[in-house]
A and B are shown apart, each in its own frame.
Chain A
């Protein structure tokens, strides 16, 4: 027997309250039919006896106390899945919006997913060659990893994400198994369009599943968008054996949507008004990356988030950093100096890097080189802060060397073209060439055997006089 409940008892933000409801179950889906014939969707978020609280995905605009008929669907929120979802565009709640009709489902899955059993996980160790020197050398991306980009408004994070997608795809020898799931949460229409165009230009559009919740779409839908996207990604990875790269932008908008929803439910706020469960909630998204035994596929996540006021201690980047396996931090000063990609090397990190590089993966000297570059570049910062007090002229000869190293490092190593794809050997060799501008005694993180092999003593080969950076020259040695 199907029962329609007429009217609602209370409306508060995106929540409606119904009374005298029989047989409701937690997180069950409901349809809300308005008098004018439109249908909205919702989900039960709280039950108290016969009183239920429903969140309405499309918002409560023009709902009154009497003009609705609500029907319980007797199932949790599910996404229709089939291999045909590739190349399709969905709304943030998983409804097709490209006009090509509904997906004929091979399978339906609860969008909340279930936690992966830690015993079933395969520890990720295959590196993805992104062709970007800073990332490949210093914060290597590993298949099955979650590596967010911490950025700020106006910085070139979207370009970087597109470049990674394009170049990672080229270097992939199992090309057929590659696909992208793109989740847009509260981004501007232009940005969504930029991604679509870029995917089209690099020829991957037919392998992209898009979930779009734009800046003016309802916020409840936004809280569902990454869950729909990850459900699609898990299906493609673990049941269709594909290597899935999930790009989620912008996680800050997602967290703000969660905050809005939480405060309308009257929950006790934690830091900066975000709900106390923000960590658990973000973790339930990020932890859906990985590889499992018995499947050839993988889910790799590159979430993008903008740090409000470039503040890395803001709750969203802070909690994200605690969950994800490292981060790529972009820096406004580098961006201002005209360097692309403006990757701030020191706070960036890849936790899975140590097991995915070196002999058999990249090159035996990789770890030593990375350690030394980090240590030396950290020393550059000391020299710079000293120079800002006493002037560059007064620095000791060694500190002057560091100043020069810092400049060259940013111009030639960090800075690289939007279309430039450096292979791992080029990047590593460039790193050694830069380190060779420092006195050998300063390189205290590296074994002598490695230094003997890679340290360049011939100063004529340390030729960097091309400040505007046509970096293609670096591979001619």
Chain B
């Protein structure tokens, strides 16, 4: 008997009296074959969430199963592409249905006609196990696509095609497993989005993800394979920070998931990334970027899936031995999609209407990050950086609180800083990174012991300032003794000169670690010298007149990234100016 629709409520459709479907199976709903997923089964009713608008569906319309869980197609052509939440290519959809997205658009995720220049890496008789590389092809100018055996297949190579141009579904290698079954390996494979792809072993988080953003690299670093949350109310710069990270962090591949956010933002990313040249490879940023755009007005169920789609693509490239960073903007919209579907299913709500399984879903998501040894023995990582949009900027709401439990790096954005246009508006008092101790050895090895020393000194000065500000708020700065005034002035130089960073300035948008270190050194050098002078009873006002603090505030612009030797000049200028006071 054909299965037909019984009830419809928003994106949720029910089928009565059927035993055909399995949990999380992907189905086609209605005559337009809308994509859906089975989310609940009992002996009377099967519940399906539909990833497209359900307007016009009727009871009695057919529902057909695909026999497989919701999956994505993995193969060359993913990079430099833009997909919706269930991996439908938006550029191809535009060609079919114009500027507005029509329903039921049946397009293949990847271009089936395009030919790839494949180099075979195995020969007949080789033993292959899951995760091993059997061929490669150049995917973009900087990314080599490595074809890996699906993790579930092992066997001996029986047939091999010569090197040459192949389409996505052409068989290039055939292997026979120990039961004698032959498997054809093509240029693509499928993987269910809600299952993590396997790896050989997880490695400790001991290598930092260099972002070029001073407050992140120095104060709150994140490791490759780590997890970070960026919570902040609207207008505090979550998206701006995500963009900066996507542009400058030293991952090989970026997966940018626009989950329930603005359409114009996605078109901005498209524009900017294709114009922007990556300094390391001299190629447009799009050559290493995958975009997943499920904007806020696109169907809510697909928004829920978009996060998993992005993660699966990221893991696929990780298994080839790449370092991948995934930006999820914003995980709150994803949590709200969960809430919306949960509400339609009339489940018992927990906090603020969110379903009780919110924490477990969040932890499942963040635990898919990690630096690993892949099945083929190389090293790869998936770093997850999730933006959180707390309701009413209140960090005690469930999504922020639960995210905090499962991420190890917390970059709290602050409204007051954003109002004063202090960007990035990362509050140095509320933020933290648990990776600092893990990364300690790396920093010492690559930047010397000084880096950690400077960083600790700067942190303690900022804390001291925040204590002093309590007093200043009550009685004004004038009554403080000079040594405390110096702390306040130095902390100001740290805030303005170091923590504040201008994303629109050609040098300041990305700052190498070496320059970050020298900037800290210059500030602390002035602090130490000035402290001695004040101890010799020379008033701070005379130091302030020298204009040295203003020079520190502008050193990020005055000293180009490729001229670190100019810091020597700055430090000797500081010495000579201060020396005049003590004469």
Contacts and interface: CB of A to CB of B under 8 A. Distances in A.
Contact of B57 (A25, A48, A120, A444): A25
Nearest to B558: A448
Point out which of A48, A145, A322, A395 has the most chain B C-beta atoms below 10 A from its C-beta. A322
Nearest to B234: A321
B330 to A, nearest CB: 8
Interface string A377-400: 011000001100110001110010
Contacts of B227: none
B298 interface: yes
B333 A375 contact: no
A126 interface: no
Interface stretch (A180-188, A207-215, A264-272): A264-272
What's the dominant secondary structure at chain B's contact region?
Answer: mixed
Given A118-B293, A123-B264, A378 B421 contact: yes
B94 A268 contact: no
Given A24-B58, A112-B55, A113-B100, A119 B476 contact: no
A361 interface: no
B421 A270 contact: no
Interface in A73-125: 76, 110, 112-124
A352 interface: yes
Nearest to A28: B56
B99 A120 contact: yes
Contact of B421 (A113, A144, A375): A375
A390 B394 contact: no
A347 B335 CA distance: 26
Contact of A290 (B14, B60, B264): B264
A363 interface: no
A47 B8 contact: yes
Contacts of B90: 117-119
Contacts of B262: 287, 323, 325
A46 B419 contact: no
Given A50-B59, A374-B420, A325 B346 contact: no
B473 interface: yes
Contact of A277 (B91, B340, B393, B420): B340
B296 A396 contact: no
A283 B100 contact: no
Interface stretch (B266-274, B311-319, B426-434): B266-274
A137 to B, nearest CB: 13
Contacts of B537: none
B533 interface: no
Nearest to B338: A276
A318 interface: yes
A346 B236 CA distance: 12
A315 B333 CA distance: 14
Interface string A336-377: 000000000011010110110000000000010001001100
Interface in A42-79: 46-50, 76
B279 interface: no
B57 A117 contact: no
B180 interface: no
A447 B557 contact: yes
B475 A390 contact: yes
A332 interface: no
Measured as residues with beta carbon below 8 angstroms from the partner, the interface class of chain A is: 35 or more
A288 interface: yes
A117 B297 contact: no
B420 A119 contact: no
Interface residues of B, number: 81
A389 B472 CA distance: 11
A310 to B, nearest CB: 14
A293 B99 contact: yes
B110 interface: no
A396 to B, nearest CB: 5
What's the dominant secondary structure at chain A's contact region?
Answer: mixed
A347 B419 CA distance: 6
Given A321-B234, A396-B477, A26 B264 contact: no
Contact of A318 (B6, B97, B391, B420): B391
Nearest to A268: B343
Nearest to B472: A386
Contacts of A24: 58-59
Given A118-B263, A327-B235, A396-B477, A354 B547 contact: no
Nearest to A124: B264
B419 A290 contact: no
Contacts of A280: 260, 296-297, 300, 336-337, 340
Nearest to B296: A283
Nearest to A389: B474
Point out which of B10, B293, B393 has the most chain A C-beta atoms below 10 A from its C-beta. B10
A235 interface: no
B427 to A, nearest CB: 15
B53 interface: yes
Contacts of A268: 343, 346, 349, 353
Contact of B352 (A271, A325, A399): A271
B338 to A, nearest CB: 10
B315 to A, nearest CB: 24
Contact of A48 (B7, B299, B340, B422): B7
B531 interface: no
A175 to B, nearest CB: 26
A448 B9 CA distance: 61
Interface in A122-149: 122-124, 144-145
Contacts of B10: 277
8 contacts: A25-B55, A46-B8, A48-B7, A76-B55, A121-B264, A123-B271, A270-B353, A283-B296
- 4 tightest Cβ-Cβ pairs between the two chains A and B: A313-B392, A283-B296, A378-B420, A287-B297
Given A355-B268, A394-B476, 7 more contacts: A46-B7, A115-B295, A123-B264, A271-B353, A367-B504, A374-B419, A396-B476
